[in-house]
Structure 1
Amino acid sequence: MSVTNFIPTIWSARLNENFKKNLVYGNVVNTDYEGEIKGQGSTVKINSIGAVTIGNYDKSIGIGNPEELDSTQKNLVIDQAKFFNFQVDDVDAAQANVDLLDGGIQEAAYGLANVVDQYIAGFYTEVKAENVIGSDTTPVVPTKDTAYDLLVDLGVILDENDVPETDRFVVVPAFFYGLLVKDPRFTKDVNVMRTGFVGNIDNMAVYKSNNVPNNAGAKYKIMAGHKSAIAFAGQVDSVEAYRPEKQFSDAIKGLQVFGAKCIKPEGLAVLTANKS
């Protein structure tokens, strides 16, 4: 028998964490309605008030009867439900000098957040037809000389739709960000390069994410917009610790429910871009 068979297994006291994407889409949506959901299948009714007419005043005829305000209503349906369910065997827990359950919960929480991020990213399809640059048929191929200008063009679309200057965003993939940092107009602030802060272009906060929708590395959907354009509501509906009947282990399961609605499509603009 080889003496190598007697070498003991060393259990590390440190968990090896996975590489994780930056999750950003959940930070660029309107979450005002989160406190009003009651679980999967519930609906939040979002009311919007129409414009108020401004008229010319003539003291001889007065201002007439008050205008009745128009209102529209959109439904935000909580139609998404995602779960996690994992266990740690008693033997594994005894041998490993690490908190495996705690590590598992952290991974599960990130996994749920990543799913939500990808879900929100898919709302680029709600953009108005006139608010797009490029298409699946004719995607734009940005370069280090044009990437910055293309984001400015997205900002112009928002300007023309009277979108407020504050709380604007744009989310770009890594390759597009790489082109931006080669443009001195973007990197003129030394703090951009030193701290890793992505920066601002044309009053839009620029975010970098690997969750930008794309088709096999092509036709990236770079979405710009205003935070109020997409309403999102979600909550962790349940988290339970339990002992599985047929195993000697501790287990934890959890359920998150959520939903989103594009309530202001005019507040979104999308660039379809390919890598060069």
Structure 2
Amino acid sequence: MSVQTFISTIWEARLLAKFHERAIASTITTAPERIEGNKIVFNNVSDVAVKDYAGNVAWDELTTSKVELPMDIKKYFAFKVDDVDKVQAAGELIDPHVTEAAAAIQEAMDGAVLTEALKTTNVVAHVESDKAYDKIVKCNTALNKKKVPKADRYAVINAEVLENLNLDARFTKEYTILENGVIEGANINGTQLVFSEELNAGTFMIVALHKSAIGFGTQLEETEAMRLEGSFADGVRGLSVAGTKTLRPSAVVKCANA
């Protein structure tokens, strides 16, 4: 075997595909307009004013404000492979090797995005009911009052919240949790439910947000193979970098158990 034949683009493409299949971070956030070096860039467009028409038209200047975010989240993976050449030549054998790496990266990135979401000061409190269903409705009401668009809204929940919902007769019992966390068939008050155990360390918590609330960008910075000393195996390692930031503070709320 020769690590010189290692084709990083093949491994990176498979790894990214697996990551995006499983990551809720990609589902509930806005992707950057572009990546510049170690920064991700978002452009926010100014609001359009609507005026009363009285015969004349006043033209507004639309401006865009650039938000630059450092990719300061850095996670690496490193694993052994019996023979990089054989795995690479077979093609489909790459997937079992990158699946675990992608899962580990996905958990880290999902955790980073949800930690950013939990920084919100928009707290839905004093909900008289202890039922998660009612709390999600209240979260949706809070977003409505902020005039947050109804499309692309998500409510992220964890196992404790899902258990509470399963005990509620109003909640559907016919749902499927997809690989990317989306709970297919579960929509409460117009909001799509998404499941993640990376939310609030597993303690009861609901985060409701619009897709535009949080920006998130990630890329694989480097993937390489090497012969391991003292081992009849090759090593494959890679570095994944990312950045996340709240772009629309009014478009995210949270609700804990009373």
Query: Do they fold alike, i.e. is TM over 0.5?
Result: yes
The answer to whether the 8 A contact 2:32-2:40 is kept is: no
How many angstroms does 1:126 deviate by?
3.8
Give the aligned residue type for 1:79.
D
How many angstroms does 1:89 deviate by?
6.3
The answer to whether the 8 A contact 2:25-2:216 is kept is: no
Aligned 1:44-59 pairs, distance under 5 A: 44-59=40-55
How many angstroms does 1:115 deviate by?
0.7
How many angstroms does 1:231 deviate by?
1.2
Partner of 1:29: 29
Partner of 2:228: 244
Partner of 2:175: 192
Take 1:158 and 1:212, find their aligned partners in 2: how far apart are those partners? 20
Take 1:115 and 1:121, find their aligned partners in 2: how far apart are those partners? 10
1:234 lines up with 2:231 in the alignment: no
Partner of 1:205: 192
Q: Which runs of 5+ in 2 are unaligned?
A: 1-21, 87-91
Secondary structure of 1:84's aligned partner? strand
Q: Structure 1 residues 233, 245: CA separation in 2 closer, same or farther (over 3 Å shift)?
A: same
Give the aligned residue type for 1:170.
A
TM-score normalised to structure 2 length: 0.75
Give the aligned residue type for 2:251.
G
1:82 lines up with 2:75 in the alignment: yes
How many angstroms does 1:266 deviate by?
0.8
Give the aligned residue type for 2:35.
I
Q: Structure 1 residues 142, 115: CA separation in 2 closer, same or farther (over 3 Å shift)?
A: farther
1:264 lines up with 2:248 in the alignment: yes
The answer to whether the 8 A contact 2:32-2:42 is kept is: no
Take 1:148 and 1:48, find their aligned partners in 2: how far apart are those partners? 33
Which one has a bigger Cα radius of gyration?
Answer: 1
Take 1:182 and 1:173, find their aligned partners in 2: how far apart are those partners? 15
How many angstroms does 1:223 deviate by?
0.7
How many angstroms does 1:234 deviate by?
0.7
Q: Structure 1, residues 148-167: CA drift from partner, whole Å, max 9, x if none?
A: 11100000011011111111
Secondary structure of 2:141's aligned partner? helix
Aligned length: 226
Take 1:172 and 1:132, find their aligned partners in 2: how far apart are those partners? 15
Identity across the alignment (%):
29
Q: Which one is further off, 246-255 or 170-179?
A: 246-255
1:162 lines up with 2:147 in the alignment: yes
The answer to whether the 8 A contact 1:124-1:221 is kept is: no
How many angstroms does 1:52 deviate by?
2.1
Partner of 1:174: 159
Q: Structure 1 residues 113, 228: CA separation in 2 closer, same or farther (over 3 Å shift)?
A: same
TM-score normalised to structure 1 length: 0.71
Q: Structure 1, residues 11-32: CA drift from partner, whole Å, max 9, x if none?
A: xxxxxxxxxxx75343211125
Q: Which runs of 5+ in 1 are unaligned?
A: 1-21, 94-98
